[in-house]
Amino acid sequence: MHEGSTSIDQLNLERFFGPAQLVRMEDEQLPKNMGLLFNEFVSIDCLEKIMQVNPSFVGGDLSEDLERALLAREIVTYTGLIHLDELPKYETFMFYGFPLKIMDGDGSPVRAVAILSE
């Protein structure tokens, strides 16, 4: 989505998985240094709040402007995720969303998986 930026085949696999939480933008504070998933529409107006917590990746119903802004900051984004309503809110789980290795690609379908602790 940004000419001259790193393509999907050049990113380390570690960028596509890690601890995450399902959160809401209305929350006073978001968790720091982990993936953030939203089960709501999130617009560019939320960029500053999201950037304050240094997310490893962001997913959900993201506006195109927000997605572009996150990608410009080299934050991996996931859109079109389904069944987010089945995830527990505010509990940390492991998220995996590995892309296809598309040469010079700027996006890819993924098989997103959340591993919940018992």
In a domain, 37, yes or no: yes
Selection from 1, 10, 13, 17 nearest residue 102 by Cα: 10
Does 1 map to a domain?
no
Q: What percent of the chain has pLDDT over 70?
A: 83
Q: Residue 58: what pLDDT?
A: 98
Q: Give the number of domains in the chain.
A: 1
Residue 1 has pLDDT above 60, yes or no: no
The reply to whether 45 falls in a domain is yes
Mean pLDDT across the stretch 21-42? 96
Assess whether pLDDT exceeds 60 at residue 100. Answer: yes
In a domain? residue 3: no
Residue 112 has pLDDT above 80, yes or no: yes
DSSP class of 46: G
| Enclosing domain of residue 21 | 8-115
More confident site: 74 or 4: 74
pTM exceeds 0.75 for this model: yes
Does residue 64 contact residue 78 with C-beta atoms inside 8 Å? no
pLDDT class for 2, splitting at 50, 70, 90?
A: very low
Closest listed residue to residue 70, CA positions, set 23, 101, 36, 99: 36
SS3 107: coil
Q: What pLDDT was estimated at residue 26?
A: 94
d(CA 62, CA 92): 21
For the domain that residue 75 is a member of, what is the CATH number? 3.50.30.50
Residue 28 lies in a domain: yes
Stronger pLDDT, 72 or 101, i.e. the higher one: 72
